[in-house]
Amino acid sequence: MATGKKVVVAAAAVALGLAGCGSPSASNGSAKDDSGTITTATQAIDAAAKGPAAEIAGAVKGGTITVYSGSTPNNMDPTDIYYTDSGEIAKLLFRTPTQYDVRNGTPVLVPDLTDLGTVSADKLTWTFKLQAGLKYEDGSAVKVEDLAYAIKRSFAHDVFPDGATYQQAYFKDGDKYKGPYAGGDKFAGVETQGADTLIVHLAKPFPDLPYYMTFPLFTPIPQAKDTKQEYQSHPMATGPYKYASYTPGSELKLVRNTNWDANTDPARHQYPDGFDFKWGQDDVKTQQQVLNSAGGDANAINYVDVDASLVPQVLGDKKAQLVQGNGPCTYVWQMDTTKIPLEVRKAIAAAWPYDQTWKAAGISDLIGQKASTIMPPSVPGYTKYNPLPGLSGTGQGDPAAAKKMLEAAGKVGFEVSWFFDNTKPVSQQVSQVRADALKAAGFKVRPVGVATADLRTKISDYKSDVNMAQGPRGWCSDWPNGNSWFPVLFESSSVGNGLSWGMMQDKALDSEIESIGALPAEEAATKWGALDEKIMGMYVGIPFYYTKAGVVQGTNVGSTVVDPTQGMPFFQNMYLKS
């Protein structure tokens, strides 16, 4: 759990410094209901699913889909992928032991390279069986040893610092092994038997392992092809597409992988001839181009949430070009409980300018829903409890009441401080709204402006002298369970891992989280909901919003659906009408 997952969000949210947060490769969400609110998913599993995937009604083959984004994936190495955009793109390139199919808006866990696994009676050994006849893009065979090697590679966090880290906590000797480069090939956490059996040994029960096996880090990698940091320049594809060309930070062109066999794949399709991902674009400009759909832009999509300035169009004559769905994330302004006493945290909450912040950030109802809990409504176990005082996510705040609370605590003039992006107007506006409200409540405020390039590093440094709005400023589900929220954000280890909400160091809370996490998902769900309310009562953060996806597509793009595990377009089902 050493490194957090980050999420690609709307331009306004990036300006707020929200890009550094957990996400990913989650599973949650079903289609929104008619009221536009986020609905809670069920944990759907289809262990018997087989290829080929069911055909998409009206889909035809051919053409290239252009995909615009102002955000740029930091890495396309499967071991190092932990952003939602690169995680979604990875599904076109990399097959994993298990995967998700999106059916009627709901993610369903299905087999991919292997079955969904069998667990031993003591819950400490999982066995996965590899399909026969699988190939890489060059026609060579996928071997079970390649799956084991990829797992070992994921422990090399000195080389791949941004990848997911649950294996370090759950796999046997995961806290000791340093990967194949520094630690050698022997690792007690994984072994192979014969030509088709992958065995994972655990240090403690991990009932969600089949969900975790959907992550790109589990895609097979032949050891002989591993070029460490250079591997991302042309990784070995097992999915329906492969690299044609890659310019890091700018463009990735994909073409058909002729050695992908649809008959072995229960979830992916290969409708377009290729995809052209263009990053670092001006999102407002390219979103307008997509809406206008002139020439090649009729075949395009922009995967960043639609800008607030374009909302009138997508709710008007361009409504057919709006793609909506659930998102897997919650954003917060967290407070450092080691630096801010509880009574002061409550006063901050009382003064908080929710409505003004929402407006200043440019968040629309198409891309966000005001939050009052830790887990978003899309996660099973979400409980809509009565909001705690000051944590409702709505209202203009009450500075006068907050000042009385400070006076009673003898804390008038208490200094609150945070980093903000001083190069972005939206970030400046939000920081000023917050400063004005807290000043009126009797706080001394110290906003610290930094450049965009430095913001993520600054908010991730828990040793800095600020005491709120540190990172991660948001989190997204890794799979449909509180087990991908509470251990990573609230156990004592989260502080050392740089992923804490509130900097909690509570051994009793650690034990409670571990106890719930060992339960089967259906038993744990209600307990996670109760724990959510308990931790919010500690005032670890100010809730901001739950994410929803709202993106635009060109007029020649077939009916796109949202992958609620990522809050991204489900690329593997996309096609062009003509």
pLDDT band at 161 (very low <50, low <70, confident <90, very high): confident
Residue 193 lies in a domain: yes
Does a structural domain hold residue 126?
Answer: yes
Query: Is 213 domain-assigned?
Result: yes
- List pLDDT tens digits, range 363-385: 888 889 999 999 998 888 899 99
Q: Residue 573: pLDDT above 80?
A: yes
Name the β-bridge partners of 445.
416
> pLDDT tens across 538-568, in order?
999 999 999 989 999 999 999 899 998 888 9
Say what percent of the chain tops pLDDT 90.
75
CA atoms of 341 and 411, how far apart (whole Å): 10
What pLDDT is attached to residue 13?
41
Q: Provide φ and ψ at 111, rounded to 5°.
A: -65, 160
The mean pLDDT value for 265-273 works out to: 98
Q: Give the pLDDT confidence of 285-325 residue by residue, as tens digits.
A: 999 999 999 999 999 999 998 988 899 999 999 999 999 98
493: alpha, beta or left, given left = phi > 0 and alpha = psi -120 to 50? Answer: alpha
| Least confident piece of the model among 24-38, 187-201, 240-254 | 24-38
First to last CA, the chain: 45
Residue 555 lies in a domain: yes
- Cis peptide upstream of residue 425 (ω within 30 degrees of 0): no
| Full domain range(s) for residue 125 | 53-276+551-573
pLDDT of residue 138: 98
Give the C-alpha separation, 243 to 71, whole Å: 20
Would 453 be classed as within a structural domain?
no
Residue 176 is assigned to a structural domain of this protein: yes
Task: Say what the pLDDT of residue 25 is.
Answer: 31
Residue 179 inside a domain? The answer is: yes
Which band of pLDDT confidence, cut at 50, 70 and 90, is reported for residue 31? very low
pLDDT in the model for residue 214: 97
What pLDDT is attached to residue 521?
80
Per-residue pLDDT of 487-539, as tens digits, reads 989 999 889 878 899 999 999 999 999 999 888 888 898 999 999 999 999 99
Q: Contact, 84 vs 566, CB < 8 A?
A: yes
Structure tokens, 552: 């635009």
* The pLDDT of residue 41: 56
Residue pair 377/37 in contact (Cβ under 8 Å)? The answer is yes
Averaged pLDDT, 416-439: 94
Whole-number Cα distances in Å, 381 to 24, 401, 529, 549? 19, 33, 5, 21
Q: What is the CATH number of the domain that holds 210?
A: 3.40.190.10
Name the pLDDT band for 10 (thresholds 50, 70, 90): very low
Predicted confidence at residue 38, as pLDDT, reads 61
Q: What pLDDT, on the 0 to 100 scale, is given for residue 479?
A: 86
Q: Determine the distance from the C-alpha atom of residue 39 to the mean position of all C-alpha atoms in its chain, rounded to a whole number.
A: 18
Tell me the pLDDT band of 156, cut-offs 50, 70 and 90: very high
Tell me, yes or no, whether 154 lies in a domain: yes
Is residue 33 pLDDT above 70, yes or no?
Answer: no
* pLDDT of 42: 58
Judge contact between 6 and 457, C-beta under 8 A.
Answer: no
Judge whether residue 52 has pLDDT over 90. Answer: yes
> How confident is residue 424, by pLDDT bands cut at 50, 70 and 90?
confident
Domain count, the chain: 1
Cis peptide bond prior to 487, omega within 30° of 0:
no
